[in-house]
Chain A
Amino acid sequence: MNAHTSHPRLRRAGLYALIVVILAMVIVPFGWMVLSSFKTPAEIRGLTDSWLPEGLYLGNYQGLQDTSFVTYFVNSIVIAVGTTALSIIIAVLAGYGLARFNFVGNRMLLIAIVTMQMFPAVLLAVPLYKMLSAAQLLDTRGGLVVVYITFALPFCIWMLRNYFLTVPVEVEEAALIDGCNRLTALWRVLLPPTMPAVAAAAAFCVIQVWEEFLYANTFIDSDELRPLSVGLNSLIGQYSTDWGRLMASGVLMVIPVVLIFAFLQRYLTQLAGGSVKG
C-alpha cells in the first residue's frame, strides 16, 4: 500500500480500527475484572443470562475483611514507605555527588549502576537469603526494606543525577559563597527545584515495592508480615473458587499504583527510558 495511491480516508479508518483493537486489548480484561468484582457468586458462575452485574454487589469487597487482605495492604505500605524514604535520602546524596564532582571511576560507576538493573534477581536470592538469615532479618519487613533499597537505588540515583545536571552550578555557587556548606546548599537551594524528580523517583520506588514478588515470597514466611504481592497469591490458594473476592482484591491493589501512575504521566518517557538516557 503506497502512500500516494491509498486513500487518506481509508488510512484514517484503518488507523482508528487499529486503535480500537489496541484499546480493547487493555480495557476488556481490566473491565471484566472490575465488573466481576461487583458480581454475586451466581453471576460470576454464569448462572444469569446477563454479562453485566445486576446491581452494585459489594459482598466481594466486604468479604475481604475475613481475609488477611488489610494486613497485607498495611505491610505493603510500611515496606514501601521505608524503602522510599531511605532510597531517596541515599540517592539524593549520591545523585548530587555524581552530578557535581568528577570521579576517577565516575563513568564506571554509572555503567555499574545501569548494569545492576539487569541482574538476575534469582542470582542474588541465595546469598541474600543467607545474609538476612545471619543478620536475623529473615521474615521481617525491615529485611525486605534493606533488600528493596538496593534495587530501587540505581534507578533513583540515575534519575536524580540527570536532574541535578540540569540545575545551573551558579545557583549553588551563590549559596556556597554566602557561607553554606555543600549539604545545606543541596538541601536549601538545589533540592526545591529538583522536587519533581524526587517525587518521580519516590513513585518509582513505590511501584517497585508493589510489583516485587520473588524476594518477598522467599524472605517472608509469616502470613501477618506478607506484602500484597505475596499475600494476594496466597489468597488464590485459599479462595481458588471465589473469583469475585479475588477480583476485588486485585482491584484494590491496583488503585494506589494507578493513582501514582496518573501523577507520573509527565515522567513517563524518562521512566521507561531512564536506563536508556545518557
Chain B
Amino acid sequence: MTLTTPVRDTTSQSPAQRHHTPLRRRLTPLAFVGPAVVVLVIMLAYPVGNAIWTSFNYEVATAPGEGEFAGLGNFRNIFGDSDFVGASIRSSLWVLGNLVLQIVLGLVIASVLNQRLRARAVIRSVVIIPWVVPTVVVAIMWRFLLDPSSGPLNDILISTGVVSDPPLWLADTTLAFPMLTLISVWKWTPFVAVILLAGLQSVPDEVREAALIDGASTFQRFRYVIMPHIHTSIAMSSVLTIAYSINNFAGIWLFTRGGPAGSTETLTTLAYRYAFQAFDFGRASAVAVILFAFVFLVSCVYFYLVEGRRR
C-alpha cells in the first residue's frame, strides 16, 4: 500500500478484488502506465541525457577520434564563434518580437471574439486557421505572396506606385528577419487568442456590467475587472509562446534556411547546421543544451504559475 492506493477505497473492498495478492494489486497501476513510461524513458529521457553528455565531448561524426571528453571545450568554442553570438541576439529578438506582438494582438483578437456577435462561431473558426495550417504550407504560400518578381504583393506595390524598386523581402538581409517574425506572429497569434479567450470568458457578466454601471472607464475596466481574471492566462500563453518560438525551426528553415547571409540564423537553426551540415555533434549539442537550459527555466516559471493558481 505504500506504492499505490486506489482513489476510492471501496474498489479494494469489493469481493472481486479480494483474491488479489497485495503484490499483484501493487503492480496493476504499473501495467497501465508502464508502456508509456518505457517509451518516454527510451525516447525522451535517455536522449536528453545523451545530448547533455555529448555537449561535453568532442564528437564529430565524420572525423576519427570521436567521443573524446571535452569538458567545457564545446561551450568555449561556441562562445568564441561570432555565428553563435549573432544567433543568440537574433533568438532573443525573435522571442521578444513574437512574445510582445502575439500577446498584444492575441488580446485584441480575444476581446473581439468575446463580444456578442452574429456568426461568432464562424468568425472564430476562420481566425484559428493559420494556427492549424502546417508550416510548410504557410511557407509555400508566403514565399509566393512575397516573391520579388512574380508575387502579388510587389505587383500591387508597384502598380499602385508605392515603391519603384521592388523589395526583395525574404531575400533581403534587413527585411528577411522582421518579415519572418511577422509571419510567425501571423501563424501563432490565433493560438494565444484562444487561450486568452478562455480567460476572458471566465469574467462573470455581472462583474463586467457592474463596472460599466459604476462608470468605470475602458482602461479601468480592463485593469481592475478583466486583468485579475486573465492574468494567469496571459502568463501561461506568454510562457508557451516563449518556449514554442525559441524552439521554432521550421518557421525559419522553410523560408530562408537562416539566410540570406545568416541574417535569419537563430540558435535553433545554428544547432541544426552544426549537427547536420558540419556533423559536429558536440558543438551542436552545446548550443542545444543552452537552449534547453533556457526552456527549462521557462518551464519552472510555468509550474510556479500553475501551482500558484491552484492555491
Contact = CB atoms under 8 A, between A and B. Distances in A.
Interface of A: 1-4, 15, 18-19, 22-23, 25-27, 29-30, 32-33, 36, 44-46, 89-91, 93-94, 96-104, 109, 111-112, 114-131, 146-147, 149-150, 153-154, 157, 169, 173, 176-179, 182, 207, 210-211, 213-214, 217-218, 228-230, 232-233, 236, 241, 243, 246-247, 249-250, 253-254, 257-258, 261-262, 265, 268-269, 272-273, 275-276, 278
B17 A176 contact: yes
A97 B32 contact: yes
A15 B111 CA distance: 10
B15 A177 contact: yes
Contacts of B11: 169, 173, 176
Given A90-B36, A130-B50, A265 B125 contact: yes
A30 B216 CA distance: 41
Pick from A120, A232, A243, A265 the residue with the most CB of B within 10 Å: A120
Interface string B267-311: 010011001100001001100110110011011001100100110
Interface of B: 2-8, 10-11, 14-17, 28-33, 35-37, 39-40, 43-44, 46-48, 50-51, 54, 108-109, 112, 115, 117, 121, 123-130, 132-137, 139-145, 147, 150, 152, 155, 186, 191, 194-195, 197-198, 212, 215-218, 221, 233, 236, 240, 243-244, 246-247, 249-250, 253-254, 268, 271-272, 275-276, 281, 284-285, 288-289, 291-292, 295-296, 298-299, 302-303, 306, 309-310
A91 B17 CA distance: 25
B51 to A, nearest CB: 5
Nearest to A252: B137
B144 A247 contact: yes
A99 B198 CA distance: 24
Contacts, number: 291
Pick from B115, B136, B195, B268 the residue with the most CB of A within 10 Å: B136
A243 B295 contact: no
A46 to B, nearest CB: 5
Contacts of A99: 7
Contact of B139 (A22, A149, A233): A233
Nearest to A133: B61
Question: Interface of chain B, helix or strand or loop or mixed?
Answer: helix
Contact of B134 (A98, A122, A130, A229): A229
Given A23-B126, A109-B33, A211-B134, 16 more contacts: A25-B186, A26-B129, A90-B35, A94-B33, A100-B7, A101-B5, A123-B271, A125-B275, A127-B46, A150-B43, A182-B28, A228-B136, A229-B135, A247-B144, A269-B194, A272-B194
A261 B249 contact: no
Which 9 pairs, one residue from A and one from B, show the smallest C-beta to C-beta distance? A97-B32, A94-B36, A127-B47, A101-B29, A272-B194, A123-B288, A150-B43, A127-B50, A97-B33
B300 to A, nearest CB: 9
A36 B144 contact: yes
B39 A153 contact: yes
26 contacts: A3-B217, A26-B129, A29-B142, A97-B30, A98-B33, A101-B7, A101-B29, A114-B302, A114-B303, A120-B288, A123-B291, A124-B44, A126-B54, A127-B48, A131-B46, A149-B39, A150-B39, A176-B14, A211-B134, A211-B250, A232-B140, A236-B139, A243-B147, A247-B140, A269-B194, A276-B240
